[in-house]
């Protein structure tokens, strides 16, 4: 494998390393930054969230008090999902 890659036990020769650097660029992993707003928008695009909000709206129109409970559950779900995803994105960066 080392021969196929043009390497040896001690790594690449200096000239080979310079040539590969100019051909392929630095050996860096790509990254993408997610903004807090993008993460929140991703949380709000959940179809289950839409279903719960429609249920809360119908419940509110009929005068039932469960719409407040549904809204609190939705808010907690979005909030916890946002915090977890944002913390994970920060940890990856």
- For the segment 9-33, what is each residue's pLDDT rounded down to a tens digit? 777 788 888 888 899 888 877 666 7
The pLDDT value recorded for residue 31 is: 66
pTM for the predicted model, two decimal places: 0.57
Residues 6 or more apart whose CB falls under 8 angstroms from that of 82 comprise: 36, 39, 40, 43
Tokens at 66, concatenated: 């469960």
Rg of the chain, C-alpha, whole Å = 26
| Residues 29-52: tens digit of each pLDDT | 766 677 899 999 988 888 888 888
pLDDT above 70 covers what percent of the chain?
Answer: 97
């Amino acid at each position: 494998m080392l021969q196929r890659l043009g390497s040896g036990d001690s790594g690449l020769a200096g000239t080979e390393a310079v040539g590969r650097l100019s051909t392929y660029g630095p050996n860096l992993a790509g990254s993408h930054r997610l903004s807090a707003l993008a993460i929140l928008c991703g949380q709000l695009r959940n179809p289950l969230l839409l279903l719960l909000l429609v249920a809360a709206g119908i419940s509110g129109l009929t005068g039932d008090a469960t719409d407040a409970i549904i809204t609190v559950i939705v808010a907690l779900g979005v909030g916890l999902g946002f915090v977890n995803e944002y913390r994970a994105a920060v940890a990856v960066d």
